[in-house]
Structure 1
Amino acid sequence: MSTDAAMMETRSIEHIPEAERHGRPFSLFTLWFASNFQINALVTGAVAIALGLSFGLALLAIVVGNLIGALFMAYHSVQGPRLGLPQMIQSRAQFGYRGAILPFLVVVVMYLGFAVAGGLVAGPALADWLGISRDLGIVVFNVVVLVVALFGYRLIHAVSRVISVLSAIGFVIIFIELIQHVPANYHGSANNLATFMLAVSIFVSWQITWAPYVSDYSRYLPTKTKGTVTFLFTFVGSGFGAILIMAVGALGAAINGAAINADPIGFLGHRVPAVAGLLIFVLLLSLIPASAESPYGAFLTSLSAISPGNVLHSAKRSRVIYVCGFTVVSLLVTIVFPNNILNNFENVILFLLYLLVPWTAINLTDYYLVRHGNYDVMGLLRKDGPYGQWNIKTLVIYVVTILLEIPFVNSSLYEGPIAKSLGGADISWIVGLVFASVAYYFYARGQAVIGEPMPSGE
């Protein structure tokens, strides 16, 4: 078998048999550290300063939001070794075989949004670095990401291991330079609880948007992998990786928010002229793991929505066709999109928060409190499986939760009446998590014997 053949993933959404399980949980740390320790997360950290927080309060919001959000995404990661399935296909147990298409659609839109965001950041930087046009820079970046996504699981992990080290070195150099230039008179313009809560919501959302990804990258680990170990490596890699890089973003925004908004990679790279070219190269590299996860994850999620039997036996060809199509769409959208990075990030991330919170609450409640990890794994892959076609009550809970969140929403596109009465504080994610978890638990406990073992399908 050639190296390329060994590297290219042959599986798609089917269950990973024990004979093909491999790797160690530490790979989850490098993957999620690299996925978070990148320029898009840096831009997200800058949003806290753009909202008007002082650097100290921005840093506190970054820590609180990421640690809370990482709890949820890391609990999803535990599901991978146990079930051996991609993340989103597990939703059939809660929503039904066809009903799960609704959250599938939401997640595919999320993948597209982050693919576009990556191009918006990389395009201007590549244009400046290579002396080409912005649009051509976007094309070059998307081609590189496309190659990694085509190979799939193994290459994404391998790239993440290398880039996590290079990114850490590059950002340490940038941090040392930035810390010397923090304005002594910068105190923020909106240091209040409402703005702080809005910032926390953004950082919680950053982590929860990883939730639809996580089992995709832990499902190849051996079944015997301890859940606590899977959880900790995912939590630390994702949570602390994001905290460190977002702190750099907040620092950079306090120095020059306009430059971060216009071209964050160019601004940061040129802070150290002697190695500017190398720094820009490293900053561009930092985008690759997370950017490759978007078309790869979108492929798995879209295939989960249809899952015809013939596709399962042609994973390579199916991935090539889908990932190329996805990249073309995201490329075209990126080219026509305005380059207002900070506002775009805030709007996209908060929008995703409102839609993903009900799903993550329902999924985790079902896994940990209702079925205790016991599922008919092969039944999740069958149209005539035990979970039915449509679970109308779960779909109602999902939609009602989103409707309940709306009055608590605060974004630049819309501010709900309750958010206004709270001075602009956005607590929609708290309302969504509590309502969806409680409502689903009391509904589901009447439908299944809690803790009843279900056949694994091995």
Structure 2
Amino acid sequence: MTRTATTTDDEVFVDSAGQPETRGIELIAEADRHGRPRDLFFVWAAPNVSVLNFTIGATMITLGLTLWQAVLVILVGSLPWIFTGIVAIAGPAAGTSGSVISRAMYGILGNRVLVAFTGWLISAVFLALNWLASSFMGADLLARIGLTNPVVWPIAVTVIVSAITVVVAVYGHGLILRAYTGVTVFLLVVFLAVTAFVLPHVDWTYRPAQELHGVPLWAAVTIGITLLASTPLSYSNSPDLARYLPASASPARIVAATAFGGAVPSAFFTIVGALLATGVTRTQLDAGIDVALLDLLPAWLGVFLVIGVVVNTISLNGMTVYSSSMALQAIGIPIRRIPSAVVVGAIGTALTIYLVLSTSLLEAVNLMLQFLVIVTGPAMAVFVTDIALRRNRYDGLDLFDERRGARFWYTGGFSAAGMTAVIVGGVATALGLSTTVWSGAISTAMNGVDLSVELGMIVSAVLYAVIQKSPLGAAASSPLALSDKTPHTRK
């Protein structure tokens, strides 16, 4: 089956909370557009009222930062949410998913390579990370009532939560848009109640046994920023959730709703995680922030917290599976969106079960988030730069033209600008990365200072802009005409 830009006569797509969404990457006609930019605030807030924020916040303390240094790093590390917001505006402009829009950056064949890697690897990792959190907390709660099997119960929780998640992805955009406002309110109530019980345990004067100064301090600060930035930089799928908005929707409002929806709850509860880490022992932290939380809370609130973690996991992973199902179509695999969502869910479940049996939550989160920026930072930089160069003008029909010599065929199906920028930017990111298992040459030379995000994004953005504007940036048969003030349309 070949995916087409628009629907056929016998296909009727419905965007409703009460029916599965059969539309995949097909273009959305203006008559089918609906909603307001402000709706995106709750779409992005629900997934980011998360226990993983507690984990990342606690990591800021284990890095050796003081409490107030950790708070400052968390605020700075939340700034990349602006990139998630900027990328979202391409959705209404093109009327299709981000995994199709990126054909303009990498070429028809180059995009398949990038989407296969980013759309699947990143999605599988984030599915696993979030299901892992709910699995550990669900198993901890069950252990307190006597169900202590360390293999059976975590796997059972994973399977149940993943199955519900796939259902959310199958119902798709209509359900996400309608339900996530209520989900956000519920999660805020639960997590603010948890915060109220955490605050009495906070050591407001906390300082590490050995305070960091000079290069070691900068190393801890930059590693913390890399960890924090990895989450918003991974959301290059933000056009998928905005693509149903009318083409006339305000780009500024889309950016604001998306960025603030992700950044505000994420930063707030990450700070709460740092506060929590000052009031518990390192042994408790090593056992997992989930264990530390359940030890502090009354039994009744512990139950609600686990429910909240599960609901948050479903909301976040529902969005991830939803986008990944379209990424599979964009690669060129002949599969409809609903079966694709089931396949993505099965892969993520398998990876989660493996992690449940082999690692701790804290260890898994820290390593995976750091390594992901090798891919996500350069890809996000290229996307944002392309939007700026084109002034957010994307012709949906051209994006679906996969013929040789088409506008986005470039040279042999690959864009020199996009492929060079993302590969060289990834190398620059790796050279600046500092983790417990890998330290790049630049980071090593700087005694552990981690400039991976900054290096990778700057290199990718500059390379992409320079090459794209040069004769090498476009095939002779498909000039980009960046100076053309009239949006390209097919006659």
> TM-score by structure 2 length?
0.86
Q: Unaligned 5+ residue runs, structure 1?
A: 312-317
Following superposition, the deviation at residue 307 of structure 1 comes to 5.8
Match of 1:314 in 2: none
Q: 3-state DSSP class of the match of 1:239?
A: helix
Q: Unaligned 5+ residue runs, structure 2?
A: 1-11, 148-152, 475-479
Summarize the Cα distance change of 1:348–1:3 in structure 2 as closer, same or farther, 3 Å threshold: closer
User: What does the per-residue CA deviation read over 1:303-335, in whole Å, with 9 as the maximum and x for residues that have no partner?
Assistant: 111065xx5xxxxxx233222222222222211
Letter in 2 for 1:234: T
**Aligned length in residues:** 447
More helix by proportion, 1 or 2?
1
Asked whether the 8 Å contact 1:35–1:290 carries over to 2, the reply is: yes
Letter in 2 for 1:455: H
Are 1:284 and 2:310 matched, yes or no?
A: yes
Distance (Å, rounded) in 2 between the aligned partners of 1:412 and 1:107? 26
Distance (Å, rounded) in 2 between the aligned partners of 1:40 and 1:325? 25
Match of 1:321 in 2: 339
Are 1:427 and 2:461 matched, yes or no?
A: no
Summarize the Cα distance change of 1:215–1:260 in structure 2 as closer, same or farther, 3 Å threshold: farther
Are 1:13 and 2:25 matched, yes or no?
A: yes
Within the candidate set 186, 189, 206, 2:231 is matched to 206
Following superposition, the deviation at residue 221 of structure 1 comes to 0.7
Q: 3-state DSSP class of the match of 1:7?
A: coil
User: What does the per-residue CA deviation read over 1:182-230, in whole Å, with 9 as the maximum and x for residues that have no partner?
Assistant: 13663135531221111011111111112x2200000001111010111
Are 1:32 and 2:40 matched, yes or no?
A: no
Distance (Å, rounded) in 1 between the aligned partners of 2:41 and 2:391? 25
Match of 1:91 in 2: 102
| Structure whose CA Rg is larger | 2
Summarize the Cα distance change of 1:393–1:3 in structure 2 as closer, same or farther, 3 Å threshold: closer
Letter in 2 for 1:285: V
Letter in 2 for 1:442: V
Distance (Å, rounded) in 2 between the aligned partners of 1:190 and 1:90? 47
Asked whether the 8 Å contact 1:374–1:451 carries over to 2, the reply is: no
Following superposition, the deviation at residue 439 of structure 1 comes to 1.3
Following superposition, the deviation at residue 241 of structure 1 comes to 1.7
User: What does the per-residue CA deviation read over 1:233-278, in whole Å, with 9 as the maximum and x for residues that have no partner?
Assistant: 1111111121011111212222235545545445434533143322
Summarize the Cα distance change of 1:347–1:190 in structure 2 as closer, same or farther, 3 Å threshold: farther
Within the candidate set 70, 79, 88, 1:77 is matched to 88
Distance (Å, rounded) in 2 between the aligned partners of 1:19 and 1:261? 54
Distance (Å, rounded) in 2 between the aligned partners of 1:41 and 1:361? 24
Structure-to-structure mapping, 1:287-302, within 5 angstroms = 287-302=313-328
Distance (Å, rounded) in 1 between the aligned partners of 2:15 and 2:438? 51
Match of 2:488 in 1: 455
Summarize the Cα distance change of 1:150–1:431 in structure 2 as closer, same or farther, 3 Å threshold: same
Q: 3-state DSSP class of the match of 2:278?
A: helix
Following superposition, the deviation at residue 90 of structure 1 comes to 1.1
Asked whether the 8 Å contact 1:116–1:330 carries over to 2, the reply is: yes
Q: 3-state DSSP class of the match of 1:303?
A: helix
Asked whether the 8 Å contact 1:408–1:426 carries over to 2, the reply is: yes
Asked whether the 8 Å contact 1:115–1:294 carries over to 2, the reply is: yes
Q: 3-state DSSP class of the match of 1:98?
A: helix
Distance (Å, rounded) in 1 between the aligned partners of 2:18 and 2:263? 32
Following superposition, the deviation at residue 423 of structure 1 comes to 2.8
Match of 1:315 in 2: none
Structure-to-structure mapping, 1:287-436, within 5 angstroms = 287-306=313-332, 308=334, 311=335, 318-337=336-355, 338-368=358-388, 370-384=389-403, 385-388=406-409, 389-436=413-460
Within the candidate set 220, 236, 246, 1:195 is matched to 220
Summarize the Cα distance change of 1:205–1:3 in structure 2 as closer, same or farther, 3 Å threshold: closer
Match of 2:4 in 1: none
Moved more, 220-229 or 126-135: 126-135
Following superposition, the deviation at residue 141 of structure 1 comes to 1.4
Letter in 1 for 2:313: L
User: What does the per-residue CA deviation read over 1:20-40, in whole Å, with 9 as the maximum and x for residues that have no partner?
Assistant: 111111211001111211122
Distance (Å, rounded) in 2 between the aligned partners of 1:403 and 1:325? 31
Summarize the Cα distance change of 1:75–1:3 in structure 2 as closer, same or farther, 3 Å threshold: closer
Following superposition, the deviation at residue 5 of structure 1 comes to 8.0
User: What does the per-residue CA deviation read over 1:126-162, in whole Å, with 9 as the maximum and x for residues that have no partner?
Assistant: 2344555221111121122121111111112233211
Summarize the Cα distance change of 1:387–1:136 in structure 2 as closer, same or farther, 3 Å threshold: same
Asked whether the 8 Å contact 2:15–2:173 carries over to 1, the reply is: no
Distance (Å, rounded) in 2 between the aligned partners of 1:327 and 1:35? 17
Summarize the Cα distance change of 1:275–1:395 in structure 2 as closer, same or farther, 3 Å threshold: closer
Distance (Å, rounded) in 2 between the aligned partners of 1:456 and 1:129? 57
Q: 3-state DSSP class of the match of 1:287?
A: helix
Asked whether the 8 Å contact 2:21–2:172 carries over to 1, the reply is: yes
Asked whether the 8 Å contact 2:18–2:171 carries over to 1, the reply is: no
Are 1:220 and 2:244 matched, yes or no?
A: yes
Summarize the Cα distance change of 1:252–1:380 in structure 2 as closer, same or farther, 3 Å threshold: same
Are 1:44 and 2:47 matched, yes or no?
A: no
Distance (Å, rounded) in 2 between the aligned partners of 1:158 and 1:339? 36
Summarize the Cα distance change of 1:292–1:451 in structure 2 as closer, same or farther, 3 Å threshold: same
User: What does the per-residue CA deviation read over 1:30-59, in whole Å, with 9 as the maximum and x for residues that have no partner?
Assistant: 011112111223322222122221221111
RMSD of aligned alpha carbons: 2.3
Q: 3-state DSSP class of the match of 2:127?
A: helix
What percentage of residue pairs aligned between the two structures are identical?
23
Distance (Å, rounded) in 2 between the aligned partners of 1:252 and 1:263? 12
Within the candidate set 112, 127, 143, 1:101 is matched to 112
